């Protein structure tokens, strides 16, 4: 397999930020400062005739004034200046140009769309490849490249291809809270030159990426997309969130990234036929990232649930079943085991294991999870972990949760935890119980256990993961 052209482009020896700025409220500052803050090891050249120095670096009036070679350019200049700037890039033998610059074809204006095409022709003639325009470009923590100071510094093995820069940033931040770190993310906006297929091909080959996520608003070439997608999905899990599904979303996508309508139904079918996974909304993209990041291939839908009280066990069963998991009855052999251990409710307990009327002689959620983990009928386990909320529960710690659920080292069966996110207000924020839950999330990540804010979201992610691996076989 030959090396993908993006491999060299994403490892630039030097980066110039054209339209760099000393004003920390503008992107020209943020792109420059982020390169320093994230530890980029190559040369950084701010370009702006109005400055002699930016963020402590010598600034150049024009790219042609930079002494050394420039591999990669980030453009923050207005759209009207881009064509002239491309000429400079060509002279400087730049390999790739990231156009953060916006207000091109997405405006719907004829002159802007024509300018965009002129820029493409000029770059093509000169051998300069383009990422964008109208996008955030590259986030690559191991190379010290970030498009925002809000992105995590820790790298992982999930790769993100996002037509939207805003969503790439939100994903990076929120996924980190769920224990998911990125190998790299690329926001590509209007996809004037490099498009979704190029990035998919690249991530498919990329040894640093185990799972591929995509946010796409439009696909230029359906046939090529299907081929790239099928190839990628046969190599590693690919999860796709399509933006612009209905009439209003399609309108919004056109004005956001100049994406064409494209039938949502065809695309959904294409994703499924290619063996990739569809995410219904942004939250589900994060949920599926957590599932594929932490869980091994799972071959069946049988789930064992423990930890809830009476009502929440009933609702957990409903939500698991509605989401496509099988909440099988508690196997006879587990009941017998409970009976032999002296449980007073061995003939009553079920799956989900309702803990509400047990007494001190009965088992806890960890005991039942342990029995389920040891029983071949179960494929997946779900631990429902509610926040402590009585004064008498003071002293409860994240550690006591892990112990009570016996989640440390429970590695013979995949587990999903349910830990609700709550709408904390000022008073709640200072309550000890929520600090315990925050600590619990951090500890679950350390145990490599994905957690979800609701049973429904946990069950949906698990079902889609099982479907992916079943299709793959």
CA dist 316 and 80 (Å) reads 56
Residue length, the chain?
473
Residue with Cβ nearer a second copy (336 or 428):
428
Minimum distance, C-beta of residue 137 to a second copy, in the bound complex (Å): 15
Minimum distance, C-beta of residue 421 to a second copy, in the bound complex (Å): 4
CA dist 392 and 26 (Å) reads 51
Q: What b/e readout covers 19-57, taking b as 16+ CB neighbours within 10 angstroms?
A: bbbbeeeebbbbbbbbbeebebebbbbbbbeebeebbeb
Instruction: Please list the residues that pair with 186 across neighbouring strands.
Output: 138, 161
The residue written with tokens 């916006």 in the block is 102
Minimum distance, C-beta of residue 104 to a second copy, in the bound complex (Å): 10
Minimum distance, C-beta of residue 42 to a second copy, in the bound complex (Å): 24
CA dist 42 and 8 (Å) reads 14
Minimum distance, C-beta of residue 319 to a second copy, in the bound complex (Å): 6
Minimum distance, C-beta of residue 231 to a second copy, in the bound complex (Å): 26
Q: Extract the tokens encoding 42.
A: 């190559």
Residue with Cβ nearer a second copy (199 or 451):
451
At residue 421, the 3 state secondary structure works out as coil
Residue with Cβ nearer a second copy (456 or 464):
456
CA dist 160 and 450 (Å) reads 19
Pairing relation of β-strands 380-384 and 415-418? parallel
Minimum distance, C-beta of residue 428 to a second copy, in the bound complex (Å): 6
Residue with Cβ nearer a second copy (63 or 289):
289
CA 169, 281, 165 angle in degrees (round to 5)? 20
Q: Report which secondary-structure segment, H or E, holds 156.
A: strand 155-162
| DSSP label of 29 | H
């Amino acid at each position: 397999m030959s090396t993908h052209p993006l491999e060299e482009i994403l490892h630039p020896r030097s980066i110039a930020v054209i339209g760099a700025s000393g004003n920390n409220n503008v992107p020209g500052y943020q792109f420059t400062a982020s390169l320093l803050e994230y530890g980029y090891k190559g040369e950084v050249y701010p370009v702006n005739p109005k400055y002699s120095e930016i963020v402590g670096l010598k600034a150049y009036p024009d790219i042609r004034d930079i002494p050394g070679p420039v591999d990669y350019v980030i453009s923050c200049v207005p759209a009207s200046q881009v064509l002239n700037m491309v000429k400079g890039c060509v002279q400087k033998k730049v390999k790739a140009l990231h156009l953060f610059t916006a207000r091109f074809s997405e405006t719907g204006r004829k002159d802007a769309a024509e300018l965009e095409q002129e820029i493409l022709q000029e770059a093509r003639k000169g051998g300069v490849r383009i990422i964008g325009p109208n996008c955030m470009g590259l986030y690559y923590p191991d190379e010290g490249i970030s498009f925002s100071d809000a992105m995590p510094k820790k790298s992982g093995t999930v790769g993100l291809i996002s037509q939207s820069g805003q969503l790439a940033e939100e994903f990076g931040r929120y996924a980190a809270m769920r224990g998911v770190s990125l190998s790299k993310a690329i926001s590509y906006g209007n996809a004037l030159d490099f498009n979704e297929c190029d990035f998919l091909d690249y991530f498919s080959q990329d040894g640093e990426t185990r799972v591929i996520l995509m946010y796409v608003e439009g696909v230029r070439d359906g046939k090529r997309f299907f081929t790239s997608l099928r190839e990628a999905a046969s190599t590693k899990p690919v999860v796709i969130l399509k933006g612009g599904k209905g009439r209003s979303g399609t309108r919004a996508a056109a004005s956001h990234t100049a994406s064409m309508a494209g039938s949502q139904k065809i695309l959904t079918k294409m994703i499924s036929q290619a063996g990739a996974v569809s995410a219904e909304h942004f939250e589900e993209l994060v949920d599926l990232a957590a599932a594929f990041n932490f869980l091994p291939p799972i071959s069946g839908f049988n789930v064992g649930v423990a930890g809830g009280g009476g009502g929440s066990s009933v609702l957990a069963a409903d939500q698991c079943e509605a989401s496509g998991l099988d909440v099988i009855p508690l196997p006879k052999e587990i009941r017998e085991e409970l009976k032999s251990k002296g449980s007073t409710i061995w003939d009553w307990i079920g799956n989900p294991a309702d803990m509400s009327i047990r007494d001190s002689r009965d088992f806890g959620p960890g005991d039942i999870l342990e029995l389920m983990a040891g029983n071949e009928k179960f494929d997946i386990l779900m631990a429902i972990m509610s926040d402590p909320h009585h004064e008498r529960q003071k002293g409860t710690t994240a550690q006591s949760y892990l112990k009570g659920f016996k989640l440390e080292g429970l590695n013979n069966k995949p587990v999903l935890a349910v830990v609700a996110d709550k709408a904390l207000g000022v008073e709640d924020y200072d309550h000890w119980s929520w600090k315990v839950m925050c600590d619990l999330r951090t500890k679950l990540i350390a145990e490599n256990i994905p957690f979800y804010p609701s049973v429904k979201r946990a069950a949906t992610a698990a079902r889609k993961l099982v479907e992916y691996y079943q299709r793959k076989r």
